[in-house]
Amino acid sequence: MAQVKTYIRSMRGWWWRDPYFVRYMMREGTSVFVAIYAIVLLVGLLRLTQGEAAFNAWREALASPVSIVFHWILLLTVGYHAYTWWKVAPKTAPDIRIGGRALPPMVITAGGWLATIGTSVLIYVIVRWM
Amino acid sequence: MADKQTIKIEVLRYNPEKDSEPHFQTFEVPFTHDTSVLQGLQYIKDHLDGSLTFRWSCRMAICGSCGKMVNGIPQLSCHTFLRDYYPGKVRVEPLTHFPILRDLAIDQTDFFNNKLPSIKPYVLPREEKPLSAGAYVQTPEQFHKYYQYSQCINCLLCYAACPQYGLNPKFTGPGALALLHRYNADSRDRGWRERAELTNSEAGVWGCTLVGYCSVVCPKDVDPAHAINQNKVNSTLDYFGVLKFLMPRGGA
């Protein structure tokens, strides 16, 4: 550090400073809902190991109005998190080159979305008709 | 100059000998279609207040000296034009997350004396060859592996875009870590192992939470966020001891 008096600015409220930081905090914040939803599903798995009655009780709890409202919130927040997840995926992906040229970030994001939508449709088809 | 339009430039002033904290001062500056924010500051220094302190050199976005916060966004002031802010005003502040020395000049010592040397920003030859053996050759494909990261001009805009650096100045930060990757990715360099201790540490890649703003503000498209996050994967593989099997060069 320089041997003169300097002024250090405060970082207080930094996430409001730029819309980019607000979106970053929303991305990180919505990950909490992803964790909550994972716990809901894990509880279901636990109840399944405890027998049919326990599993049906879990399913009944899910069908309550409070649970349905809560699941709408989960759908929105997890959906937003998925959107941000694929948006940053090109930054976390390895350096992929085709014919010496870097793969456009759009391709990675679109690939992620295709995989998400494909898996969701597949699961829905399996659960609904099989 | 009389018939030109004028714009208000609000500049953060700080005189370490007099002020306990910085304050804004507004200047009315004439401008034309091609007047940069830097030229606006130069007008202030030449005609309105000679005591205004700021750094600049090349005025063509290659030296990396004139980075400022322009309306809250880290930008090269020579690469930002007053016309784009008119009829509004322009607010110019020193790059954030750095201590202010005076007015718009920040203290860059932490980057140049600590961060940059810590990543060993030079090629550590994979094999020492005598001069008579000729140059270290490289294919265009090997060259393109690091070329983008070698475009860094040390302008520090990415540091001003990185809240993790602002919150914890021990974090090596986007610019230096992108340069670390530039040398690791160079086929002539010994690579990973030489810089592994820093990369793997909390001050290394794990201090990054992928805010990603560094890559947005970079005037040279270096993409520090991508460099850092590729090395989080490498660091993880190194932790589990599998990296050396995956990296073709010198024990990874």
**pLDDT tens for each residue of B180-235:** 999 999 999 988 888 999 999 999 999 999 999 999 999 999 999 999 999 999 99
* Phi then psi dihedrals of residue A101, to 5 deg: -105, 140
Check the CA dihedral A100-A104-A107-A113 and report its sign. Answer: positive
Q: What span, in angstroms and rounded, lies between the C-alpha atoms of B74 and B102? A: 18
CA atoms within 13 Å, Cβ hemisphere of B132: 0
Place B3 in a pLDDT band, splitting at 50, 70 and 90: low
Residue ranges of domains in chain A: 1-92, 96-130
Cβ-based neighbours of B98, under 8 Å, separated by 6 or more: B106, B107, B108, B110, B156, B159, B160
pLDDT at B177 over 90: yes
User: Residue B15: is its pLDDT beyond 70?
Assistant: yes
Which residues make Cβ contacts (< 8 Å) with residue B222, sequence separation at least 6? Answer: B148, B149, B151, B152, B158, B175, B178, B215
Q: What whole-number distance in Å separates Cα of residue A91 and Cα of residue B230?
A: 8
User: What three-state secondary structure class fits B47?
Assistant: helix
For A60-76, what is each residue's pLDDT tens digit? 999 999 999 999 999 99
pLDDT at B252: 39
Q: Could you tell me which residues are beta bridge partners of residue B90?
A: B9
Hey, what are A130's tokens?
A: 């099989």
How far is the C-alpha of B166 from the C-alpha of B164, rounded, in Å? Answer: 5
What pLDDT score was predicted for residue A99? 76
Q: What is the DSSP string of B31-45?
A: E-TT-BHHHHHHHII
Domain B109-246 belongs to what topology? Fumarate Reductase Iron-sulfur Protein; Chain B, domain 2 (1.10.1060)
Query: How would you label B75-93 residue by residue, b for 16+ Cβ within 10 Å and e otherwise?
Result: bbbbbbbbeebeeeebbbb
Residues 6+ apart with CB under 8 A from A90: A105, A108, A109, B226
For residue A4, which residues of chain B lie inside 8 Å, CB to CB? 16, 101
Question: Which whole-number Å values give the CA distances from B249 to A125, B187, B189, in the listed order?
Answer: 47, 8, 9
- HSE-up of B201 (CA within 13 Å, CB side)? 13
* pLDDT tens digits along B147-168: 999 999 999 999 999 999 999 9
State the nearest Cα–Cα gap between A57 and chain B, in angstroms: 40
Tokens representing B66 are 């004139």
If DSSP codes are grouped into helix, strand and coil, which group holds residue B135? coil
Chain-centre distance for alpha carbon A40: 15
Give residue A95's pLDDT: 84
How far lies B160's CA from each of A54, B20, B63, B175, in Å? 54, 23, 17, 11
* Length of chain A (residues): 130
Half-sphere CA count of B82, side-chain side, radius 13 A? 24
Q: What is the pLDDT of residues B82-125, one digit of tens each?
A: 999 999 999 999 999 999 999 999 999 999 999 999 999 999 99
| Rounded average pLDDT over B2-30 | 92
Specify whether domain A1-92 bears CATH 1.20.1300.10: yes
For B177-203, give the secondary structure using H, E and C. Answer: HHHHHHHHCCCCECCHHHHHHHHHCCC
Closest-CA distance of chain B to residue A16, Å? 11
Instruction: Check residue B115 and give its pLDDT.
Output: 96
The size of chain B, in residues, is: 252
* Yes or no, beta carbons of A91 and B16 under 8 Å apart: no
> Could you tell me the residue ranges of all domains in chain B?
5-106, 109-246
C-alpha span between B107 and B66 (Å, rounded): 13
pLDDT above 50 for B251: no
Of the candidates B29, B94, B102, B89, the residue with the CA atom closest to the CA atom of residue B65: B94
Q: How far away is chain B from the Cα of A22, in angstroms, using its nearest Cα?
A: 10
Average pLDDT, chain B: 93
Interface test mutation site (partner A, options B211, B222, B223, B237, max chain A beta carbons within 10 A): B211
**Can you read off the two tokens belonging to residue A102?**
């870097």
In the chain, the amino acid numbered A104 is P
B73, B166, B210: residue with CB nearest A91? B210
DSSP state of B81: B
Q: What stretches in chain A show pLDDT beneath 50?
A: none
For B115, which residue in chain A has the nearest alpha carbon?
Answer: A1
Contacts (Cβ under 8 Å, ≥6 apart) of B1: B30
Nearest-CB residue to A2 (from B109, B145, B185)? B109
Q: How many angstroms away from the CA of A7 is the closest CA of chain B?
A: 5
- Strands B5-13 and B23-31, by their bridges, are antiparallel
- In this prediction, residue B248 has a pLDDT band, given cuts at 50, 70 and 90, of low
The DSSP string of B207-234 is: G-----HHHHH-TT---HHHHHHHHHHH
Return the SS3 of B121.
coil
CATH number of B5-106: 3.10.20.30
Residue A75, H or E segment: helix A65-92
pLDDT at residue B249 in the model: 57
